[in-house]
Amino acid sequence: MNAESDERSEVAAPVAPASATGDGRQAERELGSRAPAFIRTSKVLHLSWQVGIFVVGLAVVGAGIVMLPLPGPGWLVIFGGMAIWATEFVWAQLVLRWTRRKVTEAAQRALDPKVRRRNIILTTLGLVIIAVLVGIYVWKFGITMPWEIDQ
C-alpha cells in the first residue's frame, strides 16, 4: 500500500483549490512564472524576460491610465496590462484573482431579484422625476429650436 501511494504522489500533480466563488467548476492556476521552459533554465534570460514583460505591462497600464479621462476603454486596458504582468509576477496574479473574485461577487449580487427590483424602481423613479422637470421647463419656457432663435 505504501509503494502505491508513493507512486501516486509522484505521478499525480497537486490539485489547486477550487475558485473562491464556491462553484468548484474551475480550479485556479499555479502561481509563478509562465515563461517557456528554455527561458526559465537560464537566469540571465529569465531576468531579461521578466524585465521585458514588466516594460510591456507598464506601457499597457500607462495607456489605460491615460484613457481613463480620455475616450477609450481605460479600465479594460489597465486589466489587460495586469494580465500581462500576471504571466510572470505572483503579485499581479494575486491582484487579478482578487479582482475576478470581487467582480463575480458583484455580478451575483446584481442578479439577486431584490437588488434588480430595487434598481428598476429607482431607475423608473429617476426617469419620472426627469420627465416632470423637463415638462415644467417646456411649460414655462416653451420649445424654441436653435435655428429660430432671434439675436
**Residue ranges of domains in the chain:** 29-111, 115-151
Structure-block grid coordinates of residue 14 = 497537486
- Number of CB atoms found within 10 A of residue 139's CB: 8
**Average pLDDT for residues 38-50, to the nearest whole number?**
82
pTM of the model: 0.52
Give the pLDDT of residue 38: 75
Residue indicated by cell numbers 481613463: 68
Give the pLDDT of residue 66: 93
Chain CA centroid to CA 139, Å: 46
Higher pLDDT, 44 or 6: 44
> pLDDT digit string (tens) for 52-67?
999 999 999 999 999 9
> Taken in order 11, 17, 19, 21, is the CA torsion positive or negative?
positive
90, 82 Cβ separation under 8 angstroms: no
* Least confident window among 23-32, 60-69, 70-79, 82-91: 23-32
Give the pLDDT of residue 146: 67
Task: List Cβ neighbours of 84 (8 Å cut-off, separation of 6 or more).
Answer: 53, 56, 57, 60
Give the pLDDT of residue 13: 43
Give the pLDDT of residue 39: 75
**Average pLDDT for residues 35-59, to the nearest whole number?**
85
Structure-block grid coordinates of residue 150 = 432671434
Structure-block grid coordinates of residue 84 = 500581462
